[in-house]
Structure formats: structure tokens, C-alpha cells
Amino acid sequence: MSKLVTIYGGSGFVGRYVARRMAKEGWRVRVAVRRPNEAIFVKPYGTVGQVEPILCNIRDDTSVAAAMRGADAVVNCVGILAPSGKNKFDAVQHEGAERVARIAAQNGVGRLVQISAIGADLESDSDYSQTKALGEEGVLQNFPNAVILRPSVVFGAEDGFFNRFAAMSRFGPVLPLVGAETKFQPVYVDDVAQAAVKGVLGQATPGIYELGGPEVATLRELVQSMLDVVRRRRLVVNIPFFAARLMGGAFDLLSTLSGGLISGPVTKDQVRNLAKDNVVTGEVKTFADLGIEPTSFEVIIPQYLWRFRPAGQYDAIKESAQNLRTGQE
């Protein structure tokens, strides 16, 4: 019988790419998610019955153990950008990651891959970064041979990065940014998935890997590249950090008072993260140690941001017609 991998958060942005690649490797794939009815789209990644979404709450021991039953390997892709309800940073990114590793060790699972993030730091003033580091610590204490992947900002067709700014560019001549001069090293989601698969297959040495793409650029430069792709001219304005912190605090308060029904464009914790560069440090292993050549964002983003152009899918046809008229004249 083929081997089984359980992917926690396997229907999320990164998880779905890992699931697809593992199915192509011939493994049975168990996609553990809170809402399996919303993860039916993963089933066609493999043959009938090869990829199955199941119910799991990473905050519960019994639920995590049930999802892991019989698994040969585990990948934990669960993470949040902002707390919501019971899904707090500590509960999900620290305790949840530690729980997965502890139960994996108890069940004799062969390999464990943990998706973390560049900037994970026990001394960070950001709850997001601190709990990512606490999660890594908990994983290694329980499963010393784990592979931990720390990607920079991840891009791809379903991303919340380039898509978000492209959507914002449709609504006015000004595009405000927090941390416009902060540096990022965007990494393609399928490259991250390829690294995770190498961890599952035992083709990666245990330890921590920082994953960054071939380009290092400021947020302003990345947004300008996006604007070139969507063919819109916008004035990119940097919001000072002191103002952004006030905004983030106000939006946090609004979210709390509304019981999470209303959320703002940025939280105070995200502002703290945006104040720090998000690039490979060179202090741990990288894509080079995995034999993976990272993909440039400039190659990929035109493939999915075209829908934000003024004429959308007809933009190229419109340009061709204009060129034809120019040639006739």
C-alpha cells in the first residue's frame, strides 16, 4: 500500500501545493482542515480516493491524533496573519505546532515538516514572529529531526500579497503603503511546496531552512513591479510607522468591539513586522542546500495579475487593435 502523509492546513495557500505535489509522488494525502466541506477542491489532485479532506482542529489533541492515525509523514502548514476568535497566535502557531510534533513523536511518524516564517524570533516585539519561534522550539524539542521551512513573503495565484495590492490599485490614484522601504525576498509558493516534499521524502537534511526568491526588493519596488504588470499608474505613498501604529491600534480596537466581525487593512502587530526586513539571513540552510533554483516573481505574477488590468482579459486584444490602427495610419 502507498504511504500516507497528513497535511495540517492542506487546503490553505501553501498546503494545497504540497498536497498536489505529494499526490504526484504517489502518496495518499490526508488534508486536515477545520472545514472539510470547503476543501473538496483538493480531491482531483490525485486519483479517486487518493486525496481526502478530513475534519481537524489543531487546538485539540484528540482531533490532531485522529487526523494523524496511520501517517508515515506529517506537514504542518497551519498559520494565521491575525488572531480571530479562539484562533490566537499562541494557540495556533505555538501550541498547535508543538502539539502536532508531540503527537507525531508519540505515534512514531517517520518525518515532520513545519512551515514557519522568516523573522521567527523569540525576542521579537511581534506576537506573530514570537509565536512562530516558540512553535519551532516546541517542534524541535519533541521531534529533533524535523525539517523547518522559513519562507519570506509567499507569492502565487492565490496569494494575499500581490493580489491585495493589485486590487487596491483599482480604487484611486494613490496607493498607500506601510513599510514602503522594508525589504522582502518573495518566494514562489510551488518552490516552498517542493522544499516541503523533499523534507517528507527524506531528501532534506533535518534543520532550519530560510527560503527566499532570487530578488531582494523594497515593498515600494515590488508594488511598482505589480503596477507595471497591471498597467496602472498610481502614486505610491509611504505611511510613517508612528501613524501606522495608531491606525493598527484603532483597527484592533474596532475588531475587538465588533467581536471580530469588522477587521481593518492592517493590525498593530503587522505594523511591527513591516518595520523589519524579511530576507534570508545566511545564518541557516537555504534553497541551495535543497538543490532548488527559486523562481523569479517577475516570471509568475503576469500569469495571474492580468485580471486587474483596466480591460482585464481583453487588455491584450485592445492593445493589438490599437497597434493595428497605428500601423494603418
User: Which 3 state secondary structure label does DSSP give 35?
Assistant: coil
How far, in Å, CA of 58 to CA of 87, rounded? 10
pLDDT of residue 84: 82
The band of 53, judged by pLDDT with boundaries at 50, 70 and 90, is very high
- Total residues belonging to the chain: 329
In the chain, % helix, strand, coil (3-state, to 5) comes to 45, 15, 35
CATH of domain 4-155+186-213+278-295: 3.40.50.720
DSSP 141: H
Give DSSP secondary structure letters for 224-273.
Answer: HHHHHHHT---EEEEEPHHHHHHHHHHHHHHHHHTTTS---S--HHHHHH
Give the pLDDT confidence score for residue 256 in this predicted structure.
83
- Judge whether residue 261 has pLDDT over 80: no
Q: Are 7 and 19 in contact (CB under 8 A)?
A: yes
pTM, entire model: 0.93
Convert the pLDDT of each residue in 189-229 to its tens digit: 999 999 999 999 999 999 999 999 999 999 999 999 999 99
The residues near 304 (Cβ < 8 Å, ≥ 6 apart) are 156, 157, 163
- Report how far residue 94's alpha carbon sits from residue 106's, in angstroms, rounded to the nearest whole number: 18
Quick: pLDDT tens for 133-170: 999 999 999 999 999 999 999 999 999 999 999 999 99
Within the chain, how many helices (H) and strands (E) appear?
A: 14, 13
Burial 123-159 (b: 16+ CB within 10 A, else e): ebebbbbbbbbbbbebbbebbeebbbbbbbbbbbeeb
Cα dist. 47→52, 127, 140, 182, 201 in Å? Answer: 10, 41, 34, 44, 20
Instruction: Please give the pLDDT value at position 143.
Output: 98
Instruction: Report the C-alpha gap between 170 and 227 in whole angstroms.
Output: 10
So what's the pLDDT on residue 43? 97
pLDDT confidence tier of residue 311, bands split at 50, 70 and 90 = confident
Identify each DSSP E strand in 18-127 by its residue range. Answer: 28-33, 51-55, 73-76, 111-115
Q: How confident is the model at residue 254 (pLDDT cuts 50, 70, 90)?
A: confident
Give 14-51 pLDDT, tens digit per residue: 999 999 999 999 999 999 999 999 999 999 999 999 99
- Give SS3 for 200: helix
Q: Specify the amino acid at residue 320.
A: S
In this prediction, residue 324 carries a pLDDT of 53
Residue 312 has pLDDT above 90, yes or no: no
Interhelix angle 61-68/97-106, rounded to 10 degrees, is 50
pLDDT confidence of residue 314: 64
**pLDDT classification of 283: cutoffs 50, 70, 90:** very high
26 by Cβ neighbours in 10 Å (0-12 / 13-18 / 19+) ranks as: exposed
Q: What angle do CA 94, 97, 100 make, to 5 degrees?
A: 145
